[in-house]
Amino acid sequence: MTAVSLESVALSIGGRRILSDVTLAIEDGEFIGMLGPNGAGKTTLIRALLGLVPAIAGTIRVLDAPVRRGNPAVGYMPQLRQPIGDFRLSGRDFVVSAANGHCWGRLWPSRSDYRDTERALELVGAAELASRPLTETSGGERQRLLLAQALLGSPRLLLLDEPLISLDPRRQHAVIELVLRVQRELGIAVLFSAHELNPLLGTLDRVLYLGSGQATLGSVDEVITGPVLSRLYGSAIEVVRLNGRIFVMSDQYELERGEHLHDPAGRHHHA
Amino acid sequence: MTLPGAITMLSYGFVIDALAAGGIVAVVAGIVGFFLVMRGQTFAGHALSHVGFAGATGAVLIGVTPFWGLIALTLAAGLAMGLLGERVSGRDVAIGMVLSLSLGLGLLFLHFYTAFAAQATSLLFGNVFSVDRDTVLTLAVLGVACLAALALMARPLLFATLQPDLAEAKGVSLRLVSVLFMAIVAIAVAEAAQIVGVLLVFTLMVGPAAAAQRLTTRLSTGLLLTVLLGLGETWLGITLAYQTDWPSSFWIAALSGLVYFASLGPTRFSA
């Protein structure tokens, strides 16, 4: 099975072209890291795979079927938002709100919704912390609850939008480990968008790099090279490898780290 | 109050009507307010009641019952706020301007119809003892309609409130949810204004719900607690007003504030 296949796809938002003529295929069970500068279209591509942004050209297929909104086989973890108000709602009630939460005419989650929630919480090791109020969890703990929400139902494809944002390196590592364990256990495909490559090195099967309206999918050695990235950034890029880490440099500036600092506290905007 | 005192109080028809009307509104405004607080739209609710003031005074000018003018204008404004979505309902300045413009208009309508000025106080601050049997019936019918509509949309509303990005991906129309909910809020606001007046709608819509959300981590417990607090504050407020001959709205506002600020105490220290 092919998890995602794009054929000559073009995406635009509000008249602004984001991606042009993208053709690629992500196989079932692959762990794909998605990278690229701010505004390169990482969130837009995820929203297109969710059926929220229509392709203006080309065909998008998800899990061997035309892309459609509300596909239960697609799990999605949006960027972390600060909880509003000061409701001390428990993590469990938060997670279960998404279990068939789109259904009208039901007052309360059903017994099977609660069962599914427990299964997902167990899967991410959050059964215990789910009893605590959401307002009293750390960023890393909240990411685990969001991941549990994404795993409700039985997704074959997980789309994770910047799960590492505003986490310290130790917590970033824990999130990656967790996603990898769940991915292996369920044998599903993962598209993991991130600002930095290094935390994901050794975990991802292939890397998808977006930039200048284009996308390149391949192994780290194929994609993270001076010529490929220079094309995607539209300027001269040098790739420096040091002790198993990779630094993407432009005129002595390290690009990815700089990008990361520009994003204020993980708020995202549907530009 | 002594037992014979209580029996005497309950032997008056206007007291029974006041308790019935207050009880209905406490339940409806409390439950609707619970979601309003969760969505962080309390200021929008507050502004709706001021729009209602212009509606009520305007209705008198053209010879219509104030209550229907009030409900017509809150409903229209609620639908508009829902349609404009986050662009307006999250903007304090825009809402504040609508609020003061409405009060200004209400004042102008009063100016043209000077004989009505005596009733302005009761519109602004409510007078639960002036409620008659017919009004109780109207409040009950509208209240049931409000709660029935809320029950039908409970799950998508909660989903869209807690996880808008995910809800949208799962097929929930955020705009539809927002419009329907603001229409329900508009009716609840109009009901609350009958008891405590347009200026004190917060005491019934926000006070009990905000206190309940501080005190529990469960959604179901929170809703139940909101209803109990709302009923307690309203009925005790009416009783104290009967005893002291002070305005009922003062007592309800005082109890609502007292409970809310008391609710901040215990968790602030343990958290």
Give me the number of domains chain B comprises: 1
User: Residue B97 belongs to a domain with what CATH number?
Assistant: 1.10.3470.10
Determine, for residues A97 and B222 on separate chains, whether the beta-carbon distance falls below 8 Å.
no
Report ipTM for this prediction: 0.89
Q: Does some domain include residue A127? A: no
pLDDT band at B226 (very low <50, low <70, confident <90, very high): very high
Determine, for residues A76 and B154 on separate chains, whether the beta-carbon distance falls below 8 Å.
no
**Domain span at A46:** 1-73+155-170+188-271
B42-97 pLDDT per residue, tens: 998 999 999 999 999 999 888 888 899 999 999 999 998 888 766 555 577 888 88
**Domain span at B139:** 3-270
Determine, for residues B162 and A133 on separate chains, whether the beta-carbon distance falls below 8 Å.
no
Token pair in block for residue B240 = 């104290």
Q: Does some domain include residue A52? A: yes
Q: Does some domain include residue A39? A: yes
CA distance B237 to chain A (A): 26
Among A60-69, A80-89, A172-181, B132-141, the range scoring the smallest mean pLDDT is A80-89
Interstrand relation of A157-160 and A189-193 (parallel, antiparallel or unpaired): parallel
pLDDT band at B267 (very low <50, low <70, confident <90, very high): low
Chain A contacts of B215, Cβ < 8 Å?
88
Determine, for residues B165 and A79 on separate chains, whether the beta-carbon distance falls below 8 Å.
yes
Q: Determine the residue of chain A that is closest to B158 in CA distance.
A: A97
Token pair in block for residue B6 = 């209580």
CA distance B10 to chain A (A): 36
Indicate the pTM of the whole model: 0.91
Q: Which residues, at least 6 apart from B192, have a Cβ–Cβ distance to it below 8 Å?
A: B25, B28, B29, B49, B201, B204, B205
Is the pLDDT reported for residue B180 higher than 50? yes
Determine, for residues B40 and A84 on separate chains, whether the beta-carbon distance falls below 8 Å.
yes
Determine, for residues A97 and B163 on separate chains, whether the beta-carbon distance falls below 8 Å.
yes
Determine, for residues B156 and A104 on separate chains, whether the beta-carbon distance falls below 8 Å.
yes
User: pLDDT > 90: what percent of chain A?
Assistant: 65
What was the pLDDT predicted at A252?
A: 63
Q: How many beta-carbon pairs under 8 angstroms link A with B?
A: 101
Q: Does some domain include residue A99? A: no
CA distance B144 to chain A (A): 15
Across the interface, of A77, A86, A101, the residue whose CB is closest to B156 is A101
What was the pLDDT predicted at B116?
A: 60
Give me the number of domains chain A comprises: 1
Interstrand relation of A74-77 and A157-160 (parallel, antiparallel or unpaired): parallel
Q: Residues in chain B whose beta carbon is closer than 8 A to a beta carbon of chain A?
A: 37-40, 151-156, 158-159, 162-163, 165-172, 213-220, 222, 267, 271
CA distance A237 to chain B (A): 34
User: Residue A223 belongs to a domain with what CATH number?
Assistant: 3.40.50.300
Chain A contacts of B218, Cβ < 8 Å?
90, 93
Across the interface, of B159, B168, B218, the residue whose CB is closest to A52 is B168
